[in-house]
Structure formats: C-alpha cells, structure tokens
C-alpha cells in the first residue's frame, strides 16, 4: 500500500511541476498574493 501511495505522490508532484504549481505558489491554480503587513 505504501509503495502505491509513493508512486501516485511522485506522479502528482510531476503533474504539479508540469502545470507550474510549485510549492512557492502554494500548488494552487489561483494567484497567490503575499500580505505586505507580514513581510519583513
């Protein structure tokens, strides 16, 4: 079961990268805007 989950997780990560959904973009299809109040 764990092997199956790892295979699908790798496929999901590859798909996210191909779509430009990176961790920096919160893997979201919507634009991510930082809150300037919290920027230091």
pLDDT tens column, 1-39: 899 999 998 998 888 888 877 777 666 655 556 667 765
- Give the pLDDT score at 32: 59
Determine the Cα–Cα distance for residues 10 and 28; give it in Å rounded to an integer: 17
Torsion angles phi and psi, residue 5, rounded to 5:
-65, -40
In this prediction the pTM is 0.55
Residue whose pair of structure tokens reads 């790892």 in the numeric block: 6
């Amino acid at each position: 079961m764990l092997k199956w989950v790892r295979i699908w997780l790798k496929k999901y990560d590859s798909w996210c990268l191909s779509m430009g959904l990176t961790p920096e973009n919160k893997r979201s299809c919507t634009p991510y805007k930082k809150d300037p109040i919290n920027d230091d």
